[in-house]
């Protein structure tokens, strides 16, 4: 059917309607160049169809279409793979971002806890140092009071000894010393 359509299209060309052709296709003449060109063209078409050039062209076009189709399929597959990888990387990026936010939050909480603990430790240390200082002050006051009493007693004893020495005789002094030694001995035992 296709060949017939091509043949009719060729037969209806203006070359066949020329005036110098007396009877169209029915009276061929080798002097008519239109007729020779037409025969050459038909021969060319016959050779092309005989060697299967249209089939080869169609085969080449089909193979090229198949190649393009396979390249498109491969490109789609690569695109889908790239989209999958992108989604995976975006998911990992979100996970890393969430994890870093958790780490920062935990670090902030730990820092606040450590700061509160440090404040409590400093307050406890200050309280201990104040208590130790008060104990040292109390001890120093007690020691100073004892020292003052001891000095006062020593001065009083010295003054009393001087007064007694001036107002008593040597025999009375010896008797007071002996009484004091006995008293000390009784208190120690």
pLDDT tens digit sequence for 112-121 = 999 999 999 9
Read off the pLDDT of each residue in 90-104 and give the average, rounded to a whole number: 94
Answer yes or no: are the C-beta atoms of 9 and 45 closer than 8 Å: no
Cα 64 from Cα 155, distance rounded (Å): 131
pLDDT at site 10: 60
Read off the pLDDT of each residue in 15-35 and give the average, rounded to a whole number: 58
pLDDT tens digit sequence for 27-64 = 556 667 888 888 889 999 999 989 988 899 999 999 99
- Lowest mean pLDDT across 20-24, 72-76, 94-98: 20-24
Write down the pTM of the prediction: 0.38
2: phi > 0 → left, psi -120 to 50 → alpha, else beta; which? alpha
Answer yes or no: are the C-beta atoms of 18 and 31 closer than 8 Å: no
Read off the pLDDT of each residue in 168-185 and give the average, rounded to a whole number: 77
Please state the domain extents for the chain: 2-93
Quote the mean pLDDT of the chain: 82
């Amino acid at each position: 059917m296709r060949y017939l359509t091509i043949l009719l299209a060729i037969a209806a060309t203006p070359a066949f309607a020329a005036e110098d052709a007396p009877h169209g296709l029915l009276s061929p003449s080798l002097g008519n160049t239109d007729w020779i060109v037409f025969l050459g063209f038909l021969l060319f078409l016959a050779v092309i169809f005989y060697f299967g050039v249209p089939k080869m062209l169609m085969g080449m076009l089909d193979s090229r279409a198949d190649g393009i189709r396979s390249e498109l399929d491969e490109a789609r597959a690569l695109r889908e793979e790239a989209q999958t990888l992108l989604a995976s990387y975006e998911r990992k990026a979100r996970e890393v971002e969430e994890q870093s936010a958790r780490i920062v939050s935990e670090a902030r909480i730990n820092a606040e806890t450590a700061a509160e603990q440090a404040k409590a430790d400093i307050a406890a240390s200050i309280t201990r140092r104040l208590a130790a200082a008060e104990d040292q002050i109390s001890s120093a006051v007690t020691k100073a009071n004892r020292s003052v009493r001891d000095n006062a007693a020593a001065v009083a004893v010295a003054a009393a000894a001087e007064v007694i020495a001036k107002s008593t005789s040597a025999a009375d002094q010896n008797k007071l010393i002996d009484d004091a030694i006995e008293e000390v001995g009784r208190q120690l035992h």
